[in-house]
Amino acid sequence: IMAGWFSEINRMWPGEALSLQVDKIVFQGKSEFQDVLVFESRSHGRVLVLDGVIQLSERDECSYQEMITHLPLCSISNPTKVLVVGGGDGGVLRELARYPSIERIDLCELDKMVIDVAKEYFPGLACGFDNPVVTLHIGDGVSFVRNAPPETYDAILIDSTDPDGPAKELFEVPFYQAVARALRPRGVMCALSESPWLNIQTVKNHLDVCRQVFKGSVRFAWTTVPTYPSGVIGLVLCSKEAIDFEKPVVSDKALGTMQLGGASLKHPLKYYNSALHASALCLPEFAKNVLTVK
């Protein structure tokens, strides 16, 4: 390992590791659940790392946060209640502030240290907490969803860590059964998956789990995140009733304003647009062959 560089070495992506040059370590801590690290990188702004895995960099977080939020939210009309599982950095909350119809957002994050660190070191993401409709819950997303009243949410966004750690159960059938129960009949779910470049079998298993539970639509989408392993991250979109996820019902033109801190702020999208929405569901041949049901 070269001095002054962070390398994301992990058994989930053996034989390869992204490296970033470190200008300064900004925060290092150990919570009840994971190691928390924030550093200033040479090329990507501040970076948040949990248990040695990059969660976000200031430079490319827009791709992940905008896609995990707007792919599901632009697939439905007039959402009023949304649940976020994980997402303690606030980035998804920031993106949800573009939807004036939302009356209530519950966010269930396991680790309070992530929220505290985001508020201190990532103001551009933690601004998402400055929304009076947000209610914070600190705890395990699995039990939160299990205890949620049935048919409550228009959208449930699973912005969790990779399956090898405290988020393991968030990739299993009982969890998605609880998610389906907590969704309204026309509701949608979007969950972090993995990159088809890394371990396509993990992605296939994730989709198979979702297909067991969601009888409407189950689709795989992907986006580019240069600081995630392989530069690509997958997302799974599900609904109980059939939804044509390729045809967004909300236009990107409606998303340029955020309701934050009691004010309406102009805040253009950086990544998502309606054309990208449709293309995010198109798969390269090698992935299509494995991930599509014939």
The binding site for ligand AAT (CB under 6 A) comprises 50, 53, 55-56, 85-89, 91, 108-111, 114, 140-142, 159-162, 166-167, 170, 192, 228-229
For ligand AAT, the closer CB: 162 or 252: 162
Q: How far is the CB of 143 from ligand AAT (least distance, A)?
A: 9
- Looking at residue 292, the DSSP 8-state letter turns out to be S
Residue 126 CA neighbour count, 13 Å, CB half = 13
- Looking at residue 82, the DSSP 8-state letter turns out to be E
Q: Are 114 and 147 in contact (CB under 8 A)?
A: no
Distance CA 181, CA 83 (A): 13
Task: Please name the helix (run of DSSP H) or strand (run of DSSP E) that holds residue 182, with its range, or none.
Answer: helix 173-182
For ligand AAT, the closer CB: 12 or 278: 12
Longest CA span, the chain: 53
Q: Are 97 and 84 in contact (CB under 8 A)?
A: no
- Of all residues in the shown chain, the one whose CB is closest to ligand AAT is 86
Which residue of the set 111, 159, 162, 252 is catalytic?
A: 159
Q: How far is the CB of 21 from ligand AAT (least distance, A)?
A: 20
Task: Please name the helix (run of DSSP H) or strand (run of DSSP E) that holds residue 95, with its range, or none.
Answer: helix 91-96
For ligand AAT, the closer CB: 181 or 186: 181
Q: Is-catalytic flag, 244?
A: no
For ligand AAT, the closer CB: 230 or 246: 230
CB atoms under 10 Å from CB of 60, counted, come to 21
Q: What is the 3-state secondary structure (H, E, C) of 35-53?
A: EEEEEEECCCCEEEEECCE
Q: How far is the CB of 121 from ligand AAT (least distance, A)?
A: 14
Residue 128, CA distances (Å) to 41, 96, 251 in order: 23, 8, 22
Q: How far is the CB of 287 from ligand AAT (least distance, A)?
A: 18
Q: How far is the CB of 185 from ligand AAT (least distance, A)?
A: 25
For ligand AAT, the closer CB: 8 or 217: 8
List the catalytic residues.
159
